[in-house]
Chains A and B, each alone.
Chain A
Amino acid sequence: MRRALFLLPLVAFITVAAWFAIGLTRDPSKIPSALLDRPMPEFTLPPLQGANVPELSADAVRGHVALVNVFASWCVPCKAEHPVLMRLARDKRLPIYGINYKDWWEDSLNWLKELGNPYTAIGYDDQGRIGIEWGVYGVPETFVVDRDGRIRYKHIGPITPQVLAETLLPLIERLEK
């Protein structure tokens, strides 16, 4: 009996540790975005001078299923996902809009020159203000917006070919129906 008492702390700890283990399996990036299934925030951003694409506003995004991709030249994962976006743009599957987030104008321009420009329009958000309204907390982030201008999905981190094929494209197809 006395011995069982000394086992108590271990048992209590194992219980707590089990809960921790379950807690870990919950992907914290799946924190539901507060904006999910809500209309996207109204905004207008100046164009990225010299990129030869128009400015970006909520009105431009509305009307068709579209991707809104938040990127920056200083962001290494953005470079990783860039070829995926380029391929998608070449297919002319759907418009991809870029929010250039907290970036130097020159840097982003060079970046696009070097890697190519997949974006139909780019908004230059140098202060990150619009990023705050979209609930961006790290770049890259990609939003899927439906015809009515509702945010239907938010992907945090780079888009890999796998993410594109298994998550984004099926969703886009469904939304386009």
Chain B
Amino acid sequence: MIPEIGHFALILALVIALVQASVPLLGAARGDPVLMNLARPAALAQFGFIAIAFACLMQAYVVSDFSVLNVAQNSHSTVPLLYKVTGVWSNHEGSMVLWVLILGLFGAAVAAFGDNLPMSLRARVLSVQAMIGAAFLAFILFTSNPFLRLDPPPIDGRDVNPLLQDPGLAFHPPFLYFGYVGLSTTFSFAVAALIEGRVDPAWARWVRPWTLAAWSSLTLGIALGSWWAYYELGWGGFWFWDPVENSSFMPWLVATALLHSAIVAEKRDALKSWTVLLALIAFALSLIGTFLVRSGVLTSVHAFAVDPARGLFILLILVIGIGGSLALYAVRAPLLKAGGLFAPISREGALVLNNLLLSTATATVFLGTLYPLILDALDAGKVSVGAPYFNATFVPLMVPLVAAAAIGPLLGWKRGDLAGALQRLKFAAAFTAVVVLATLYLKYGGPTLALVGIGLAAWLAAATAIELAERIKLFRVPLPEALRRAANLPRAAWGMTLAHAGLAVVITGITATQAWQVERIALVRPGDVLELAGYRFAFRGVVDVPGPNYAAKRGTFEVTYDGRPIAVLTPERRFYPVQGTTTTEAAIHTTWLADLYAVIGEPEASGPGNAPGAAPRGAGDPGWIARLYYNPLVPWIWIGAVIMFVGGLVSLSDRRHRIGAPARGRRQAAAQPAASD
């Protein structure tokens, strides 16, 4: 009964979405306030019905209703409750319901908090949002219905994929989707603005909070995903340039560019058509990411079950949605009035540089991700593009980006003084030199690129600190006065400072772990001692440990440094009998300056070609393959990402997003000096 309610609620949501997609748009074209205002209750109701459907699906998972095909295929009665709940989105159908739930949530939020928007713009935004909603609701109902019944119901389900039974993963898709789907609002604003033929500073300001919300969640979602890959996949790495990782990273890069270009649109009434294009592309890349994951066009560890019909449907949505919006862009964007002139050395010049580098970076990632697909389509063979390509193309683009991110905030609008800015950064330069020399002293003979990375991070961190100090006149006015100024700084300024500082921390973490990771793979027997980066790992053997729905083999390493006990690491291999899968659970001890990372692998077999489970060689204890890593500064990657996330939230709380509409009247004044561009 309850699954049928969910099914019915989804159908109702689709019907409402169809109304919401058409009527307010018509109302906006005719100037009819009644039709336009229909958008708000419709958006709220659409969200309500999707929420009901989602709750029904979750109920089926929580009570393990195996008469629902989706539950039978993706859950099991012995799974802990947490993973029953997260099982809802660990499969294609359920994750699509979560997707439309968040889409509906953003639509409802625009309807609820959009009081300061002009009525026609709000109606159009909500209509476009509903078009996306209708497309995906239809997709769910026609190709991926999670409420299908199974008769007769099986006695038990087929289990949640063991790799996904993990707290890091449990919360990574919701944040990621929040980011992906949040970009839909930015997209809707862009399309609405193109329909209206008007992009002005007020528009840029209205879009900003939605972009910030999406960007912040995407940052956190990507960080959670990489953290999960770090401790669950057991290879000591944190980023694999996997197609699915890339497809979450590309919207992030574009959203970052959009956040920066929207500042120019807001402050200088320039870069307008470019900002609109970025808003379209950011969501287009989110959709392409969805397509890549679900169509089976690319194979990856993350890819859901493959179904060409689904792929075709999403491709259709893609072509109509993205193709349509870009066609609209081609027609309407040339009509947007270009903003004022600006000099290359200026705040806006620096932001343009940021945009150029970020979009080029996006393009390189895009190319690397799709190149195998393109070659295959041309019958030119199957290839896979890996880390070497991305390291060779992506990293060099990040170097000038970070270097400029340090200088940009110190440049004035309109006409900046580069010499003056560099003059003010002399302490940053000195700090960078000290840090680089100290690194050279500590890690002599390491890769040169590591020095560049550490130097850049130091440069960015110092410059960000100097910029903040100058703003609050630290050391120039008495300290209480400086603190008062700090408290009164706009939240957006704090957001920028935090985000840039977080980036510096991330770069430090990535550089250090890439350059100075120490790895040791060895066959160990109880009593063996391995040495790694000064730490002594004493292996104490492997014991069997039963889990709720798995059986684990747990190894124990006692770690000492200079004879002092540091930690006891207990990596596990878990065997999940229902799916017959084994997962590795890395044991990690962090000092915040480094991680000690241990993984226990296969038991020693008596020789090649033997059946698994064969008796080990010799009468004594069997040996085990152990992988040990010393990962310097790796926690900084996630600490930095969290700082960036907090920066986004702080900026989101800026009061200019909360107070009423910025006077749209300013538009006329700003639009006048429409010189050529």
Contacts and interface: CB of A to CB of B under 8 A. Distances in A.
B136 to A, nearest CB: 18
B322 A19 contact: no
Contacts of A19: 370, 373-374, 377
A9 B376 contact: no
Interface stretch (A22-30, A46-54, A87-95, A162-170): A22-30
A34 interface: no
Given A9-B277, A17-B319, A28 B154 contact: no
A16 B288 CA distance: 10
B550 to A, nearest CB: 13
Interface in B15-53: none
B158 A74 contact: yes
Contacts of A26: 376-377
A48 B318 CA distance: 49
Contacts of A10: 323, 326-327, 329-330
Contact of B612 (A9, A27, A129): A129
A33 to B, nearest CB: 14
Interface in A1-34: 2-3, 6-7, 9-10, 13-14, 16-17, 19-24, 26-29, 31
A7 B612 CA distance: 59
Interface stretch (B111-119, B304-312, B439-447, B528-536): B304-312
Nearest to A43: B611
B377 A9 contact: no
A3 B327 CA distance: 12
A45 to B, nearest CB: 11
A29 B306 contact: yes
A23 B612 contact: no
Interface in B326-382: 326-327, 329-330, 333-334, 370, 373-374, 376-377
A20 B297 contact: yes
Majority-rule SS of B interface residues: helix
A117 to B, nearest CB: 20
A34 B611 CA distance: 19
B580 A6 contact: no
Chain A interface residue count: which class? Answer: 20 to 34
A102 B150 contact: no
A24 B297 contact: yes
Contacts of B318: 17, 20
Contact of B333 (A6, A14, A43, A74): A6
A6 B330 contact: yes
Contacts, number: 84
A131 B376 CA distance: 29
Given A14-B323, A21-B315, A23-B376, A9 B580 contact: no
Given A20-B291, A132-B580, A13 B306 contact: no
A23 B323 contact: no
Contacts of A2: 334
Contacts of A14: 323
Interface in A131-152: 131-132
A26 B611 CA distance: 36
A31 B377 contact: no
B284 interface: yes
A23 B330 contact: no
Contact of B580 (A13, A29, A74, A102): A102
Given A26-B376, A74-B154, A13 B323 contact: yes
Nearest to B580: A128
B479 to A, nearest CB: 51
Contacts of A37: none
Contacts of B613: 129
A6 B329 contact: yes
Contact of A76 (B150, B319, B334): B150
A23 B373 contact: yes
24 contacts: A2-B334, A6-B329, A6-B330, A9-B329, A10-B326, A10-B327, A13-B323, A16-B370, A17-B319, A17-B322, A21-B315, A22-B377, A23-B295, A24-B295, A24-B311, A26-B377, A28-B299, A28-B306, A28-B308, A42-B611, A76-B150, A102-B580, A104-B155, A128-B579
Given A6-B273, A17-B315, A29-B306, 4 more contacts: A9-B330, A10-B326, A19-B373, A19-B377
* Shortest 9 CB-CB contacts between residues of A and residues of B: A128-B580, A22-B377, A10-B326, A28-B296, A23-B297, A7-B330, A6-B330, A6-B333, A28-B306
